[in-house]
Structure 1
Amino acid sequence: MKTSHLILTGAAVLALGLGGAAIAQTRSSVSNQPIGYGADTGELTNTAVSLRGRAEITQGDTRLRANAIEGARDASGALTRIEATGEVYYVTPNETIRGNRAVYTVSNATVVVTGDVILTQGQNVLTGGSLTYNVDSGQARIEGGGGQNSGRVRGVFYPNGTN
C-alpha cells in the first residue's frame, strides 16, 4: 500500500492560503520554555505524571489537551516524553491539530499526532492519518493512513480574500 504525504511549514501553509504571498514568520523556541500541567485528577511520582479528565499540558503559548496524558520524567523531574490519548488537540497561536493520540518528545521538540488527523490554520485544512510537527520551527509533515481518508492526504486552501 502506497502512503501519501505532504511536508509544509507554518509559513508555507499560510502562503498557500494567501495566494502564494511571501510571509515572514518569527517563531520563539517553545521547547525551551517551562511545561505546566493540569487535570481533574492527577498523580505525580519521581518518574512519571498521570493526568485524567480535561488533561492539559502547556508550554509557552502552546497547549496539548486530551482525555488522558501520561508523562515520563528524568532524574531531575523534568518531563521528557508526553503521551496524550482520547480527543487530542495540540493548539498553537497559528495552528490547531486534532487526532486520537499524540506523543511529544521534548528533546527533539516534536509532536506526532495519529488517528484521523486534522490540521487547521485559519480556514485552511489538511487531513491525514499521521502528522509530525516541530514545535520550534512549525514544520509539519502529514501522511495518509487508514480511517476516513482511505490512505490519502487531503486539504483545502483558500487564496487571500476568498471565503
Structure 2
Amino acid sequence: MLRALCLAATLALSAGVTQAWAVRPDEMLSDPALEARARALSRELRCLVCQNESIDDSSADLAHDLRVLVRDRIKKGDTDKQALAYIVARYGEFVLLKPRFDLRNAALWGTPVVLLLAGGLFMLLGARRRRDTSPPLSSEEKKELDAILSGRE
C-alpha cells in the first residue's frame, strides 16, 4: 500500500513538473524583466504541434523555436504588440490561443447560429403551411365526426 502511494505521489509530482521544465535554461534571457515579458507572450501563443497548449507549457521542438523567436524579437527591441504581430504574420491567426475578434472570426462563430435560426424558421413555416392547407370539413363530414365523437354511429 505504501509503495503504491509513493508511486502515485511520484507520478503526480512528475506530471506537474514537466510543464515547468518546458522553457529550457539555454533559451532564457538574462534580464528578468525581458524574460517576464517573453514568458507572458509565450502564454498567449499556441503550440502548433500540441494545439491546445501554450508554447510556454509545451516541450515540442516547434514550441522551443517559437519561444526563441519571441525572445529574439524582444532582444531586438520590439514591443509586445510588435512581437505578436510578427509571429502572427509568419504563422497566421491560429498561433494565438485567444484569437482576435474580426469579421472572419465573427462569420466563423455566427454562421452556425444563423443556420440554426434559418432552419427553425423554415420548419415553423413548413408546419404552418401544412396545417393551413387542409380543406375545411363539409357539413356531412362534420355530422359524421360528431357522431363518432359522441359514440353513436
**Bucket of the pairwise TM-score, normalised by the shorter protein:** under 0.3
Greater strand share, 1 or 2? 1
TM-score, length basis structure 1? 0.23
Of structures 1 and 2, the one scoring higher in RCO (CA 8 A, sep 6+) is 1
Greater helix share, 1 or 2? 2
TM-score, length basis structure 2? 0.24
The higher radius of gyration belongs to 2
